[in-house]
Amino acid sequence: GENVEQHPSTLSVQEGDSAVIKCTYSDSASNYFPWYKQELGKRPQLIIDIRSNVGEKKDQRIAVTLNKTAKHFSLHITETQPEDSAVYFCAASYDKIIFGKGTRLHILP
Amino acid sequence: DTEVTQTPKHLVMGMTNKKSLKCEQHMGHRAMYWYKQKAKKPPELMFVYSYEKLSINESVPSRFSPECPNSSLLNLHLHALQPEDSALYLCASSDGQGSQPQHFGDGTRLSIL
């Protein structure tokens, strides 16, 4: 079955700097890669996603890249703000979504 | 606004009780999901319904019993739960099963005494 590895588990960045979270997946059949943000005590919220026929996608300060050959995908957040502090989950999907273990992002003032 | 509504928000029950969790969506989605989430862990898939039929059961113990009465509703019936079943139970829906964005409800926080 699919296995998704996510790094780092914790990330602290200065406000205004960029944050990068990296994931790898094992099943070459996976064709959809969503990223979820979960604030403490709240539901996971989809922030961006990418399909396997696309290499990069951007939405304002958030971008995701996908390297199908290497089975790597990454989340990039630029100009980080305090409200970006949360846990971020990457995921890979074919018939069901498999989540990575999560990255706790701290934005330092 | 949350487009997937879950009730109750909190539930405390004893190990011999029977209770049900409810989930409702009005987005016309044809796939609905139950996940279990423990603290500081990712959501863990339990069940998938596609077009009101059970599509995936991730080897969940029989003390959890899902039901999909219609395309908008999803229930999770609970009976004889164990303390380790205490967790946040999340419902989600998507336009189709698999490679589609899933929209999550706020969850039911379940505590087993």
Residue of B nearest to A41 (CA): B106
pLDDT tens figures, B31-50: 999 999 999 999 999 999 99
At B58 the pLDDT is 95
Q: CB distance B42–A96 less than 8 Å?
A: no
**Residue in the structure block whose two tokens are 């989340």:** A75
Exposed, middle or buried, B61 (CB in 10 Å: 0-12/13-18/19+)? exposed
pLDDT tens figures, A24-79: 999 999 999 999 999 999 999 999 999 988 899 999 999 999 999 999 999 999 99
- Which one is predicted more confidently, A6 or B1? A6
In chain A, alpha helices (H): none
Residue B1's identity, in one-letter code, is D
DSSP string, A1-14: ---EEEE-SEEEEE
Q: What is the mean pLDDT of residues B9-15?
A: 94
B30 within 8 A of B53, measured Cβ to Cβ: no
Closest CA–CA distance from residue A91 to any residue of chain B (Å): 10
Q: Pull the structure tokens for residue A78.
A: 């630029």
Eight-state DSSP code of residue B14: -
From A95, A100, A102, residue closest to B97, measured CB to CB: A95
Q: Looking at the predicted structure, is the pLDDT value of residue B1 above 70?
A: no
Eight-state DSSP code of residue B84: G
